[in-house]
Structure 1
């Protein structure tokens, strides 16, 4: 597409990562003209060294990707999660979820973020009403009652009815709007790497609660798994500076021998962990989604899934508004999105915060209480099924896309 100085679209999105590009594709698939701006080039976003993380995509999130035509490009790289086993350090008491209990598909899928990003770009090529501008930076944003205007550093100007900030925890869109945030620093880092192992994982995801934080072993395709090792921040630099041999030895010790011999594949990354949330999700002609609106502890694996719920809800709100002739950037329309997502997200903030504080310690009375609690939940079928439904993303007032339906 030839570059022009002035561009007009229905919606401008700042941020072309996983949530941002999913939103763009979903909106374009529902007939909106969309322009996406990102400061990173497409090649950088899909480079193997850019993001070493994998995401546990809930069943409902996978239905969203199916509904907007992305799943066909993701499926070859997606490992079904058939069981989840939660344990508390060396305790013999545990919590076990399996997909056969509910009987309608896996609990979710594990997909490397890089492969999801590649799949999104493949689907993007098929949409003529989606423009991707990268690498480029935003120079200025102006919003008024009629429109939102984004001035780029390369001289191009984009005018639209609605601006979406899906540009991560350090969102410049949120800062421009003057929306305050609250933040809790857990003084933890998530150390991420992938391993190859001798024995098969059988599609089982393991989460072990240790005094420093959860240690997750998440199944990838083949005899591979993704590790998310939560550690106290003051120890992270020491761990990350270990030699390859010493790091692998420590990983093998923590994983144990149930997967046989373990080999580190690829790099290792460390990410600071905190809880952060915006006080408002919307402002004049503007809405925040994904990490720009909220970032949570990875203890539940729900971070990206929350962002995808934002995406599905906003698409449905905008489609409904268009049906009755409302301005998609109006306060009335955006407030519906904010009200829909605020309550659901707030409950997840609270749950992940409480679980992290409850499990990231070795206080004996708490250890006993949480072990007995897990064992009790494992035996109470209705409660256990509720938690499984929650893990699958099928609890609450679901947008149509999360049910696998178009929002039309």
Structure 2
């Protein structure tokens, strides 16, 4: 049951793996995408209740691959971001930091675009899978899973549970933070638990959010209010990522609806009028994982398989998007030169390209969470003064806005909206 050799096998059909398979296929690489779950299960509303922040440059990649028309109707622009510190009562400090998308100059001098968009994960997954189904260079293999892997200088062979064998030049792990392929390759990782749980839900509120995303730093962790599209009945909605110390989060999740709503409303505040949670609650333990290296013989790590970070800045998926854009560009450059795309030198180019950007974000999110997830008075004063100081420095604000949009650094062609 050995099929025709492929250029690339991607393991894991989540948002990173699906995007990598699509980008590689659209660039002309023969690609197979393998996942242990049926593909329709990945788009079930009960499977994933989270939303994803898609940065401006990530949206350019989605446009270049033809995905954005599938998503635009479900995406809510992020026009402003307001960051504030708050105490146990949920009331924000009068000192804050406010980012306006108009502070970032557009590349062509026109009105700057949004800093990003908020999209429900179920819509993101569905759009990617629809585009993949139409891509002739990609074979979707699900449900199935890798049970044995052989990798050497000549190529790689994967044996699936179904008995099928895939031969390929390169294997990409997009399995997430604790993928089997990374462990099998003996790639170590720096990792730790934050002893925090993110409670994820959707809230309905009386007044419109006007495209403003808010991050309130509470003693137990950040409380993010992310703008969503209005609901089917015209109700104003926001996606909530509510971080608490793990033991307290479990107690809150176990309370009855009335007590849960009360605890939630106290933290949310009254800036959008009356507010209440709607729909189910999800919870996710938070941790950090950063692989010691991103490549091995005929193996490359992308997205959370290489770096899983705290959601405090909403940039985790965008790091993975930049991984994918860089990797596909490296592979296509090698193919044009007649080189083996799984060659160690090509993979090292990818690893060098992505290491600094990823390490910077890993370190920054870890530091921010440690600095803000407490109620130590001297630190609270330092935080408030620091936020207010940055707020009064337009050049520094502009730099942070451009960084949030993904406009800083050595950008791959797909991130610039170009074909590799």
Q: Output the CA distance in 1 between the equivalents of 2:29 and 2:112.
A: 33
* Residues 103-118 of structure 1: pairs in structure 2 closer than 5 A: 103-118=111-126
State the Cα distance separating 1:405 from its structure 2 match. Answer: 1.1
TM-superposition CA deviations, 1:83-120 (whole Å, max 9, x none)? 00000113100000111222420000000111000000
Residue in structure 2 matched with residue 335 of structure 1 by the alignment = 348
- 3-state SS in 1 of match to 2:369: helix
State the Cα distance separating 1:404 from its structure 2 match. Answer: 1.0
Moved more, 244-253 or 362-371: 244-253
State the Cα distance separating 1:7 from its structure 2 match. Answer: 4.2
State the Cα distance separating 1:264 from its structure 2 match. Answer: 2.0
Whether the aligned pair in 2 keeps the contact of 1:5 and 1:155 (CA below 8 Å) is: no
* Residues 54-73 of structure 1: pairs in structure 2 closer than 5 A: 54-73=51-70
Whether the aligned pair in 1 keeps the contact of 2:261 and 2:276 (CA below 8 Å) is: yes
Whether the aligned pair in 1 keeps the contact of 2:57 and 2:415 (CA below 8 Å) is: yes
TM-superposition CA deviations, 1:344-365 (whole Å, max 9, x none)? 1111111111111111111111
Whether the aligned pair in 1 keeps the contact of 2:2 and 2:167 (CA below 8 Å) is: no
Alignment equivalent of 2:161, drawn from 141, 153, 157 = 153
State the Cα distance separating 1:263 from its structure 2 match. Answer: 2.9
Residue in structure 1 matched with residue 266 of structure 2 by the alignment = 253
Calculate the aligned-residue CA RMSD, in Å.
1.0
Residue in structure 2 matched with residue 182 of structure 1 by the alignment = 190
Residue in structure 2 matched with residue 78 of structure 1 by the alignment = 75
Residues 1:368 and 2:381 are matched in the alignment: yes
Q: Output the CA distance in 2 between the equivalents of 1:6 and 1:316.
A: 26
Listed as ranges, the gaps of 5+ residues in structure 2 are: 87-91, 105-110, 231-235
Matched residue count: 404
- 3-state SS in 2 of match to 1:267: strand
Listed as ranges, the gaps of 5+ residues in structure 1 are: none
TM-superposition CA deviations, 1:141-197 (whole Å, max 9, x none)? 110111111100101111110000000011111011111111122111111011122
* Residues 131-150 of structure 1: pairs in structure 2 closer than 5 A: 131-150=139-158
TM-superposition CA deviations, 1:1-28 (whole Å, max 9, x none)? xxx6534211000000000000000010
* Residues 204-353 of structure 1: pairs in structure 2 closer than 5 A: 204-222=212-230, 223-353=236-366
- 3-state SS in 2 of match to 1:44: helix
- 3-state SS in 2 of match to 1:141: strand
Q: Output the CA distance in 2 between the equivalents of 1:257 and 1:273.
A: 28
Q: Output the CA distance in 1 between the equivalents of 2:383 and 2:26.
A: 45
State the Cα distance separating 1:403 from its structure 2 match. Answer: 1.1
Q: Output the CA distance in 1 between the equivalents of 2:55 and 2:157.
A: 35
- 3-state SS in 1 of match to 2:6: strand
Whether the aligned pair in 2 keeps the contact of 1:193 and 1:264 (CA below 8 Å) is: yes
- 3-state SS in 2 of match to 1:183: strand
Q: Output the CA distance in 2 between the equivalents of 1:265 and 1:76.
A: 21
Q: Output the CA distance in 1 between the equivalents of 2:131 and 2:278.
A: 29
Moved more, 233-242 or 257-266: 257-266
Whether the aligned pair in 2 keeps the contact of 1:7 and 1:157 (CA below 8 Å) is: no
* Residues 93-108 of structure 1: pairs in structure 2 closer than 5 A: 93-102=95-104, 103-108=111-116
Residues 1:27 and 2:19 are matched in the alignment: no
Residues 1:162 and 2:163 are matched in the alignment: no
Q: Output the CA distance in 1 between the equivalents of 2:46 and 2:161.
A: 27
Q: Output the CA distance in 1 between the equivalents of 2:25 and 2:292.
A: 28
State the Cα distance separating 1:265 from its structure 2 match. Answer: 2.2
TM-superposition CA deviations, 1:308-354 (whole Å, max 9, x none)? 11001101111111111111000010000000011111111111111
Q: Output the CA distance in 2 between the equivalents of 1:70 and 1:250.
A: 38
Structure 1: 4+ residue segments shifted above 6 A: none
Q: Output the CA distance in 2 between the equivalents of 1:165 and 1:177.
A: 11
Whether the aligned pair in 2 keeps the contact of 1:296 and 1:349 (CA below 8 Å) is: yes
- 3-state SS in 1 of match to 2:341: coil
